[in-house]
Structure 1
Amino acid sequence: MNAALTLRERSEAEASRLPPLLARAEHLAGTVLLGDHGRRRSGLGDDFWQYRPAQIGDSRRMIDHRRSARGDQQFVREREWQIAQSVMLWVDQGASMRFASNKNLPTKGDRARLLGLAISILLVRGGERVGLTGTTLPPRRGNAQIIRLAQAWSGDVQDDYASPEHRAMIPRARAVFISDFLGPMSEVELALTKAADRGVRGVLMQVLDPSEESFPYHGRTVFESVGRTLKHETLKAGALRGRYLERLAERKEALQQLCRATNWQYGLHHTEDSAQAALLWLYRALDGSLR
């Protein structure tokens, strides 16, 4: 009975986070859309997009004679690209993502969920299909899918580090992975390798707390994982700083090399920085991979 009550309380607490998360994601997505014309481009489709001057290589059938008759230059009538792309997302919900070094900072998980949901909103408004990696939530269009994503990201994983989902990768789709990527590197390598084998390209965004970059610890310090499965006590924390920063730099370089090898893009975001700037970079990076 107590276990059932505890589960219900946790479920209600998680559900209560949905409306604020959705509202923040909608607001964040709106700031990027202001002054932006979306992802429109020429290609296969039925709707008129724009006229452009004829170029070498254009066939005579492409010339719009009615528009060209208005002057001395020939013009081509372009249609709007209308092929929807499937974009699969993985947002880390492991215990390590619940870390924040300061009460005035969001946790890594909160920032990751916000960015994941906001980029999903932008993609859906651009006519794309979005969903989760794996089989639980295949890519779909529409606002209802945004709510499903918010619900899927409302919970947490108890393990210290979650592994990227690599099952059911849709061939030639696109993907977004958001995590601190401080867990086993072999799992990330497996996921991106499998993605590359199926022609999936995407964006990997590493989210870190500023203290994870600076290691501002001295003297006696107890280091404990958020999931409380790992613990280390030292009397000279400052002596660990150099070795820690070296290993962090090695991890970043390994992630960047993996992205280069698999034709993905790597981005780094700190929770003290603007979520809007991170979303804009993510949007542009993913937009480039969709072309």
Structure 2
Amino acid sequence: MSPVLTLRERSEAEASRLPPLLARAEHLAGTVLLGDHGRRRAGLGDDFWQYRPAQMGDSRRLIDHRRSARGDQQFVREREWQIAQSVMLWVDQGASMRFASDAGLPSKADRARLLTLATAILLVRGGERVGLTGTTLPPRRGNAQIIRLAEAFSVDDASDYAAPEHRAMIPHARALFMSDFLGDLAEVELALTKAADRGVRGVLLQILDPSEEVFPYRGRTIFQSMGGTLAHETLKAGELRQRYLDRLAERKDALTRLTRATGWQLGLHHTGDSAQAALLWLYRALDGGTR
């Protein structure tokens, strides 16, 4: 049996253990139309990209005489930039992300994993390297890397709120952090500051359940953390609503200030909204970080 066939069979066997997330991520990625050029940029590669009219300062060696002979204007033959970028991914696996206010809604963790894996699929298709922050899964290309990511995303963190990993950030790479960002903000500040110091730019996507935006609770209510470590009972939950909404607004403002200071982009997604729209925004936001 050839080594190539052995690798293929092993990859297929690994994929068969993770059908739901992989299948949904592949389907979601397939719904996003990226145009003919994807993430390609003009540069020093070998593959033809496009013709463009010659401009002042262009070397005569760049002129494509066959294309220019069709008319009175000279054209330059541009080639695709072949240096792949590395994109570092972090998905909050903490217990708070497993919350869903309604059986008809996905949990925050499910939506975060789906969006991150679908984004990784699109990036790999565009020739980029993807991996996890930290040292456990460095950026690589290929479908096997997608399977490794899916496996990593299947592991839950026992703590209520997970902290972003900031070790081993590749200089001048890009990054995607996905969480509800309701935990210790100091950990997020540390991670983004460390990343910015290494020239890493990226995107924070805050994922919230719709109920977390409106606080619909009234009367006697028991609030309990998803990890079971915290609990609070009140007879008048409605009286807590405004204080909660004020705290949530303060957290969003703090995230806005942090991303502006570090050159990152901030997005907000609700689990009741379209995953396709969120994926398209993520892809464009990461692409914008390269310019």
TM-score w.r.t. the length of structure 2 is: 0.92
**Contact kept in structure 2, 1:222 and 1:233, CA below 8 Å:** yes
Contact 1:17 1:154 in 2 (8 A): no
Aligned 1:4-83 pairs, distance under 5 A: 18-33=18-33, 37-83=37-83
The C-alpha deviation readout for 1:219-258, integer Å capped at 9, x for no partner, is: 1111100001111111111111111101101101111111
> Residues of 2 paired with 1:219 and 1:34: CA distance?
48
- CA shift at 1:42, angstroms? 1.1
2:31 partner SS: helix
Structure 2 counterpart SS, 1:79? strand
Distance 2:253 2:110 in 1: 25
Q: CA deviation at 1:170?
A: 0.4
Q: Secondary structure at the match of 2:207?
A: strand
Task: Give me the whole-angstrom Cα distance separating, in 1, the residues matched to 2:110 and 2:65.
Answer: 55
Secondary structure of 1:191's match? Answer: helix
Q: CA RMSD in A?
A: 1.4
Aligned to 1:232: 232
- Specify the alignment match of 1:180 in structure 2: 180
Percent identity reads 84
Matches within 5 A, 1:260-271: 260-271=260-271
Matches within 5 A, 1:186-225: 186-225=186-225
**Letter aligned with residue 21 of structure 1:** L
Deviation at 1:155, TM superposition (A): 1.2
Aligned to 2:153: 153
SS of 2:223's equivalent in the other structure is strand
Q: Distance in 2 between matches of 1:17 and 1:36?
A: 33
Q: What is the letter of the counterpart of residue 177 of structure 1?
A: F
Letter in 2 for 1:225: S
Q: Secondary structure at the match of 1:199?
A: coil
CA–CA separation in structure 2 for the residues paired with 1:54 and 1:35? 24
**TM-score, structure 1 length as denominator?**
0.92
Give the superposition deviation at 1:259.
0.6
Match of 1:248 in 2: 248
How far apart are residue 97 of structure 1 and its match? 0.3
Aligned counterpart, 2:277: 277
Q: Equivalents in 2 of 1:159, 1:76: separation in Å?
A: 57
Cα pair 1:47 1:80 within 8 Å, conserved: yes
Residues 1:59 and 1:16: Cα distance change in structure 2 (over 3 Å): closer
1:94 matched residue in structure 2 = 94
Q: Deviations over 1:137-174 (max 9, x none)?
A: 00000000000000001010010000000000000001
Query: Per-residue CA shift, 1:168-213, capped at 9, x if unaligned?
Result: 0000001000000000000000000000000000010000000000
Match of 2:84 in 1: 84
Change (3 A) 1:197 1:167: same
Structure 2 distance, partners of 1:61, 1:36, is: 27
Unaligned segments of structure 2, at least 5 residues: 1-14
In 2, the alpha carbon distance for the partners of 1:16 and 1:264 equals: 36
In structure 1, what is the Cα distance between the partners aligned to 2:126 and 2:138?
Answer: 18
CA contact (8 A) 1:88 1:174 kept: yes
Separation in structure 1 between the aligned mates of residue 89 and residue 226 of structure 2, nearest angstrom: 24
Number of equivalenced pairs: 277
User: Unaligned 5+ residue runs, structure 1?
Assistant: 1-14
Shift in Å, 1:117: 0.4
Distance 1:16-1:76 versus aligned 2 partners, 3 A rule:
closer
Amino acid at match of 1:41: R
Equivalent position of 2:166 in the other structure: 166
1:16 & 1:163 partners in 2: Cα distance?
A: 30
Query: How far does residue 96 in structure 1 lie from its aligned partner after superposition?
Result: 0.1
* TM superposition outliers: structure 1 runs of 4+ over 3 Å: 33-37
